[in-house]
Amino acid sequence: MIKRFRFGTPLPTESVVLDLPLCEEAVPFLQGTPACFTYLLGEDDLVFGLGESIRGINKRGWHYVSFCSDDPNHTEDKTSLYGAHNFLLVDGAAGRFGLFWDYAGRVEFDVGYTRRDLLQITPADENYDLYVITGESDVEIVRAFRGLIGKSYIPPKWAFGYGQSRWSYPTEADVRAVARGHRENGIPLDSIYLDIDYMKDYRDFTVDPEKFPDLQALAAELAQDHIHLVPIIDAGVKIEPGDPTYESGKAGGYFCKNAQGEDFVGAVWPGLVHFPDFFQKEARRWFGERYQTLVDQGIEGFWNDMNEPAIFYTPGRLRAVLDELSACQSIDLNLDQFFALKDKLLGLSNNLEDYRSIYHQVEGQMVCHEQVHNLYGANMTRAAGETFEALYPDHRMLFFSRASCIGAHRYGGIWYGDNQSWWSHLAMNLKMLPSANMCGFLFSGADLGGFGSSATEDLLLRWLQLGVFTPLMRNHCAMGNRAQEAYQFSEAPAMAKILGIRYGLLPYLYSEFVKAALADDMLFRPMHFDYPDDPHAAQVEDQLMLGEGLMIAPVLEQNATGRYVYLPEPMKLIRMRSTDDYDQEVLPAGHHYVPVGLRELIFFIRPGCVVPLTQAAMSVEEIDSEHLTLLHFVEQGTGSYVLYDDDGYTRDYQAPDHYRTLTVSV
CB of 88 closer than 8 Å to CB of 70: no
Of residues 204, 300, 418, 645, which has the active-site annotation? 418
Helix, strand and coil percent figures for the chain, each rounded to 5? 30, 25, 45
pLDDT of residue 538: 97
Percentage of residues in the chain having pLDDT higher than 70: 100
pLDDT grade, residue 94 (50/70/90)? confident
Per-residue confidence band for 93, with pLDDT thresholds at 50, 70 and 90: confident
Residue pair 134/56 in contact (Cβ under 8 Å)? The answer is no
Is 520 an annotated catalytic residue? no
How far, rounded to the nearest angstrom, does the alpha carbon of residue 190 sit from its chain's CA centroid? 19
pLDDT in tens, 180-211: 999 999 999 999 999 999 999 999 999 999 99
pLDDT one-digit tens code per residue, 604-626? 999 999 999 999 999 999 999 99
- C-alpha 662: how far from its chain's center? 32
Residue 24 to residue 552: CA distance in whole angstroms: 45
Distance from C-alpha of 445 to C-alpha of 524, rounded to nearest angstrom: 12
For the chain, the average pLDDT equals 97
The C-alpha atoms of residue 203 and residue 481 are separated, in whole angstroms, by 25
The one catalytic residue among 52, 138, 234, 308: 308
At 329, is the pLDDT very low, low, confident or very high (cuts 50, 70, 90)?
Answer: confident
- CA dist list (Å): 537 to 61, 178, 544: 19, 43, 10
Of 523, 576, 512, whose CA–CA distance to 545 is shortest?
A: 523
User: In the annotation, is 129 catalytic?
Assistant: no
Burial profile 454-491: b = 16 or more Cβ within 10 angstroms, e = fewer = bbbbbbbbbbbbbbbbbbbbbbbbbeebeebbbbbbeb
551 sits in which H/E element: strand 550-552
Per-residue pLDDT reduced to its tens digit, 265-298: 999 999 999 999 999 999 999 999 999 999 999 9
Point out the catalytic residue in the list 305, 512, 521, 542: 305
Closest CA to 544 of 407, 405, 427, 657: 427
Residue 172 annotated among the catalytic residues of the structure: no
pLDDT of residue 624: 97
| Residue count (the chain) | 666
Q: Indicate the burial class of 227 (C-beta count within 10 angstroms; 0-12, 13-18, 19 or more).
A: buried
Instruction: Band the pLDDT of 337: cuts 50, 70, 90.
Output: confident
Contact (CB, 8 A) for 372 and 105: yes
